[in-house]
Structure 1
Amino acid sequence: MNAQMETMLHVKKKIQMCLKAKQTNRWQTKSPSVLTADGTVVIQLEGMEYELDGGDSLFIRSHIPVVIRSLSHQQVTVFAVSFEHYMLTNDADDELIYKINYDTLPDNGQVVMGSPVLFHHIKRLSDLSYSESSQVKLLKLVLQIFQQQNEKTTDADHYSIQMILQYIAEHYQQELTRKDLAHKMGFNESYFSTFFKKSVGMSVTDYIAQIRIDEAKKLLFKTDEQVQAIAQRVGYTDSLYFSRKFRQKTGRSPSQYRLSRQPKRIAAFQFVGSLLALGVKPICMEEDIALYSDVLQGQLSDVFVIHEHTPDDVLKDMNLDLILMPDYFYTNREWMKRMEKIAPVLVFPYSRLSPVEEVLCLGSLIGRSEEAKQWVERYEKQAQKERARLTPFLKKKETVALYEIRGHDKVYMWSFHARGAINLYKTLGVMPPEAIQEEVLKPDKHVVIPLERLADYAADHMFFIVAVRNGWYRHMDKRMKESDVLRNLPAVQNNTFYLLKLEEFRFGEGERAIEIMKRFSQFLIKE
């Protein structure tokens, strides 16, 4: 009997509570629950407080009083789902007996921070009336994400999975088997399979097939090669099998997919700034992207915003040529399958390319290579202009760094591929503090520290990103006066501490990169 038959899930109650500014609500759980919110809230459980920013999620055990308090000056919606978890206790020939059992569930108060996939899963469960089987399937995905967070990977594990993905990316054209990959990476085959699925969200076989199909899509867009040649280039010796696999994954034959070359009507789930750099305004964009596009508001004001509840008929009526999605949607298969039925989907790597590389790559895929080159010239010309303006400042050799504050006590220090940091450190060429250079930029990894340690990473000039939607931006002046850590920073005392809005700096690609670069420069030369 497999593990799925040994456990059963049943969704009991779906909750949506709207909290006004600073409002408090109380709730008595009667069964395990998962909770998320679209703004900042404080949750009190058994004498402990958990602060959730918009999109963070929390697991709550059964029969626990919960106090929820909004920290926002705007209305916050809390989404929660209660469920029961059963385990098989008797599997005799004539009966199966299941009893409630919480032994394998996550710990009470476990938080998953900043997972848009988990946020959308819980929101969908609480919003819509699905069939029972669909609810259970979605709930399993939610619990799986909590379990993955609970079973934290070590640095060695993280390094291992990155090495595996890099190897697959470089050798997907070759015959790759689970056994061979496990052997090359020094893993037991059975453990390797479990480890890979836990880390990536899909089996080794499915991941390799997905990579090959997505690479084939790019070749269909960029080249006039025959399908048979493309099949061989991405690792399929049998072109008929490749075509069947392609249709199975996309709902279209390779030839039908190729008809979408040089698309004009594009739905964007990311990469809006790069599309604008190529002279393409998306027909619609995903809700989360729209919420953090203030820096492009003038160019996107008339773009239709979509979300998981937008009816398929509405999307079909837009006559889309292409749906552009980031590769982090691999873990959201329902979204991917749904979009494939509406229009051709092109998956593009997220947060791994520089703004210039991304525009050039995307331009070659959608038939706008010339526009891409023109934009790169404009970008480099603007960068040259800003560096010239900064010359007197740069000669002072004062340090500059980018941070983000979340909640009461967490500070995020971003490496190159987040929050437009590449425009500050590489394009403008400012000098970071040694601690950030050694711990963040050299290894190219994001670092999170408690607020109390901020002085160890302080710069002469400090850019601080704060969200507007949860009310933190409005209250930063007060927090800086009340916090000994913030108040005693030399940058605060010297008036070289600059507040930035997350809604403008969360993404930094294409046209956003130019605007972000200009704003960094304006602050530093105090225009």
Structure 2
Amino acid sequence: MHKWIHKHRSPACFVPVQLSEWESITLQNYEGEASPYYRIVVVVSGRGILQGEEKEHLISRRDMVRCPPGQRLSIVGSTRAPLHVIQLEYHALGEQNKLPQAVREQAWITPCSIETMRVVLELRQAWLHPRAGEPYRIQQLFTELLIAVEKERAMDEQNALPWLEDALAFMEAHYHQEVTREQLASRANVSPEHFSRMFRKHTGRTYTAHLTLLRVRHAQRRLLTQSMDLHALAQEVGYKESTYLSRKFKELVKLSPTRYQHKPKRIAALNVNHTASLLALGVVPELGVYTTWLREQLSGSCHAGRRLEDSLAQSEAYYRSIAAAEPDVIIHYEAAEGNRQLLPVAPVLEIPVVTMGWREQFEYLGAIVNRLERARHWLEQFTHQVEACNQQLDHRLGCRGTAMVWEICDHAAYGIGSCYGRGAQILYEELGFHVPQKAMEQSMLTEGYMEVPIEQITDYSADYLFVTSLPTEREALRRVEQLFLSEQWQSMEAVRQDHVYILDHGELFYGYDPLSSAAQLKRFMEVLCPNHNII
């Protein structure tokens, strides 16, 4: 005797229920009933108006509408071009979240291809005139229709991405001007109705709601960094009156602009550098990114806030974690992937990566959290430490010479410039070392770093070499060992002078912030002046 061990339900099953057809719909209304089934409505010929969700849409030949159960449709035809419409109702069995998008999503006025129209007409013919010996013909054609609709939906979505990205970028650059939906639709060469549908599908907001969001978020960012007259701020973001800005601001933020400006801010810092900068100011972000090294520095001083797993970046869990923190402001690097998606959560303060040094970033954050004087005092103390270190280096080394900072990873080696941390900002900006000429001719000045195969490290000779981290994979470690044994390595100036320092502390040297910079300074002095009490 056999027993069933597992039973698996089909994720979705679709059953055609009824086909309806209306011809010669003219000026009189066709008031459709609210159907309990899913529906596909196709315009075979003619022109008219389709009304649903309290909106009117022009329809014409080869237009298609997909409707969920319970949706009422009203159609008004034209006397010059009477409408001929086919409606197919079907039942969808299965869990709602497992149904295909073409079934779940309501779509107003999407054009269907000639091939899809052919399937619709063949299905109509099979329904009205069944063939003997072909009992599954209707089901076969119905399945073909659903497949065609799903393909067209996916293609429509794919084709929309370029012009949608252009529209979003245009809005971000011109939100303070009078930019209408019709203007952007014309720019994208699509109808205003299609523009609205695709815009809402991809952003989750209407065009007007997104424009309001952009304007209010800009107002929030301005209030975070400086005091402004509300009337001037309203005009800056595209509103004529301060009262209108205040109303929209309060609708979105749930606070007036004045109260928002003065309240203590819940901050989400989306990278370890800004998390550490806030901690150096005595501010614990509501949500932050913490390395093991950074958490170790907090023992006895202050507690860590909620930890954001940056390994999950751009995932649904990542965005849910940020939204759950309910931040008043989000801090991240400029042009970081995902910043636009965070717009509905809170304003994103985007800090430049290359053009703003860690000291400037620290003061900028200090101003935002009303601790600018504390930031300046910290930097003043750090400058005194640097001066003391330079006096010791002058005595021990004299002229500094050139130095290269290498981060050796599993697949490549990275030469680091002063704007990308890894201690390079300490060596080049604080302790007087110089970048070798050949490295300067590469991308270190423009990009902030350069990437080379591990074996090509020897192409960049310097008086001092600092390796801040080593790879973890066995094959990469083997390549590093072979490099260290090679004749090219042995002939390098830094190797011959015993000026190679394998520091191998990736987390400590990763940081580009006050806490990391202070620790990196101390570590450099430990290897450059081992017999001196540095800090």
TM-score range, shorter chain: 0.5 to 0.7
- Unpaired runs of at least 5, structure 1: 1-10, 13-83, 106-136, 149-160, 179-188, 192-200
3-state DSSP of counterpart to 2:523: helix
**Residue 450 of structure 2: which of 442, 447, 450 is its match?**
447
Partner of 2:25: none
Deviation of 1:415 after TM superposition, in Å, equals 2.5
Q: Deviations over 1:121-178 (max 9, x none)?
A: xxxxxxxxxxxxxxxx9xx9xxx99xx9xxxxxxxxxxxx9xxx9x999x97975979
Moved more, 417-426 or 295-304: 295-304
Q: Against the structure 1 CA distance between its residues 85 and 209, is the aligned structure 2 distance closer, same or farther, given a 3 Å change threshold? A: closer
Task: Say if 1:96 and 1:172 are closer, same or farther in 2 by CA, change over 3 A.
Answer: closer
Which of structures 1 and 2 has the bigger CA Rg?
2
How far the C-alpha of 1:423 sits from its partner, in A, is 2.2
8 Å CA contact 1:403, 1:412 repeated in 2: yes
Task: Please tell me whether residue 279 in structure 1 is matched to residue 286 in structure 2.
Answer: no
1:388 aligns with 2:382: no
The AA in structure 1 aligned to 2:117 is: A
State the partner residue of 2:420: 418
> Counterpart of 1:457?
460
> Whole-Å Cα distance in 2 between the matches of residues 210 and 494 of structure 1?
60
CA distance in 1, matches of 2:375, 2:308: 27
Identity among equivalent positions (%) equals 22
Q: How many residues align?
A: 361
The equivalent of 1:218 in structure 2 is 221
Contact 2:295 2:304 survives alignment (8 Å): no
- Contact 1:90/1:97 (CA < 8 Å) preserved in 2? no
Task: Tell me the CA shift for residue 211 of structure 1.
Answer: 7.4
Residue pairs, 1:98-109, within 5 angstroms: 98=148
Amino acid at match of 2:294: S
Q: CA deviation at 1:96?
A: 5.7
With over 3 angstroms needed to count, the CA separation of the structure-2 counterparts of 1:429 and 1:245, relative to structure 1, is: farther
* 1:331 maps onto 2:356 in alignment: no
Q: Does 1:91 align with 2:113?
A: no
Q: What is the TM-score of this pair, normalised by structure 2?
A: 0.53
Letter paired with 1:497: V
- Matched position secondary structure for 1:430: coil
Task: Supply the distance in 2 between the matched residues of 1:428 and 1:464 (Cα, whole angstroms).
Answer: 17
Specify the alignment match of 1:56 in structure 2: none
Check whether the contact 1:292–1:502 (CA below 8 A) recurs between aligned residues.
no
Q: Deviations over 1:316-335 (max 9, x none)?
A: 6x786655444445625555
* Aligned match of 1:507: 511
Whether 1:359 aligns to 2:366 is no
Q: Tell me, yes or no, if the aligned pair for 1:383 and 1:427 is still in contact at 8 Å.
A: yes
The answer for the alignment partner of 1:229 in structure 2 is 232
Which residue of structure 2 lines up, in the alignment, with residue 306 of structure 1?
308
Counterpart amino acid of 1:306? L
2-structure distance, mates of 1:430, 1:440: 18
Deviation at 1:481, TM superposition (A): 2.9
**TM-score, normalization by structure 1:** 0.54
Three-state SS of the structure 2 residue aligned to 1:293 is helix
User: 1:313, 1:398 → 2: CA distance?
Assistant: 47
Structure 1 residues 230-287: Cα deviation after superposition (integer angstroms, max 9, x where no partner): 22345544546645665687576534532434x4x5443230221123222334423x
Distance 2:219 2:454 in 1: 46
Residue 96 to residue 177, structure 1, CA distance change in 2 (3 Å): same
Residue 526 of structure 2: aligned partner:
522
Separation in 1 of the partners of 2:116 and 2:339? 34
- Give 2:528's aligned amino acid: L
8 Å CA contact 2:404, 2:462 repeated in 1: yes
Residue 429 of structure 1 pairs with residue 432 of structure 2: yes
CA distance in structure 1 between the partners assigned to 2:148 and 2:447 by the alignment: 49
2:318 and 2:441 mapped to 1: Cα distance? 45
Distance 1:381 1:217, change over 3 A: farther
**Equivalent position of 2:57 in the other structure:** none
Superposed, which structure 2 residues align to 1:1-150 within 5 Å?
90-92=115-117, 94=120, 95=145, 97-98=147-148
Alignment of 1:338-357 (within 5 A): 339-340=345-346, 345-351=347-353, 352-357=355-360
Q: Could you say what secondary structure the match of 2:418 adopts?
A: coil
Structure 2 CA distance, aligned partners of 1:89 and 1:227? 55
Distance 1:510 1:446 in 2: 21
C-alpha contact 1:173 1:233 (8 A) present in aligned 2: no
Correspondence for 1:483: 483
Structure 1 residues 205 and 320: alpha-carbon distance in aligned structure 2, compared to 1, 3 A threshold: closer
Question: What root-mean-square deviation, in Å, do the aligned CA atoms of Structure 1 and Structure 2 show?
Answer: 5.2
Counterpart-to-counterpart distance in 1, 2:486 and 2:253 = 52
In structure 1, the partner of 2:401 is 398
Structure 1 pair 248/348, CA: closer, same or farther in 2 (3 Å)? farther
Change (3 A) 1:389 1:443: same
Q: Distance in 2 between matches of 1:311 and 1:85?
A: 22
Q: Is the 8 A contact 2:420 2:448 kept in 1?
A: no
**What do residues 167-215 of structure 1 show as CA deviations (whole Å, max 9, x unaligned)?**
999x97975979xxxxxxxxxx879xxxxxxxxx99x999998876555
Aligned residue for 1:384, secondary structure, equals helix
How far apart in 2 are the matches of 1:359 and 1:243?
31
Cα distance in 1, alignment partners of residues 321 and 481 from structure 2: 52
Distance 2:101 2:327 in 1: 42
Aligned twin of 2:261: 258
Does the C-alpha gap of structure 1 residues 242 and 463 become closer, same or farther in structure 2, counting only changes over 3 Å?
farther
Counterparts of 1:141-160 in structure 2, within 5 Å, are: none
Contact in 1 for aligned 2:404/2:416 (Cα 8 Å): no
Unmatched tracts of structure 2, length 5 or more: 1-10, 13-99, 103-111, 121-144, 181-186, 190-201
Deviation per CA, 1:18-39, whole angstroms, max 9, x where unpaired? xxxxxxxxxxxxxxxxxxxxxx
- CA deviation after TM superposition for structure 1 residue 377, in Å: 0.9
Q: Which amino acid aligns with 2:513?
A: E
SS of residue paired to 2:442:
helix
Counterpart residue number, 1:293: 294
Q: Displacement, 1:402?
A: 1.1
Letter in 1 for 2:482: E
Q: After superposition, what is the alpha-carbon deviation per residue over 1:19-78, rounded to whole angstroms, capped at 9, x for unaligned? A: xxxxxxxxxxxxxxxxxxxxxxxxxxxxxxxxxxxxxxxxxxxxxxxxxxxxxxxxxxxx
Paired letter, 2:519? E
Determine if contact 2:116/2:148 at 8 Å carries over to the other structure.
no
The letter for the 2-side match of 1:514 is A
Instruction: Verify the 8 A CA contact 2:402 2:436 in the aligned structure 1.
Output: yes
1:292 is displaced (CA, Å) by: 6.6
Asked if structure 1 preserves the Cα contact closer than 8 Å seen for 2:176 and 2:215, the reply is: no
Given that 2:291 and 2:507 are in contact with CA atoms closer than 8 Å, whether structure 1 keeps it comes out as no
* TM-superposed deviation, 1:515: 1.8
Counterpart in 1 of 2:138?
none
Distance 1:232 1:100, change over 3 A: closer
SS in 2 for 1:483: helix
Aligned residue identity for 2:224: F
Q: Cα gap change, 1:458/1:177 in structure 2, threshold over 3 Å: closer, same or farther?
A: farther
Give the Cα separation in 2 of the matches to 1:406 and 1:313: 29
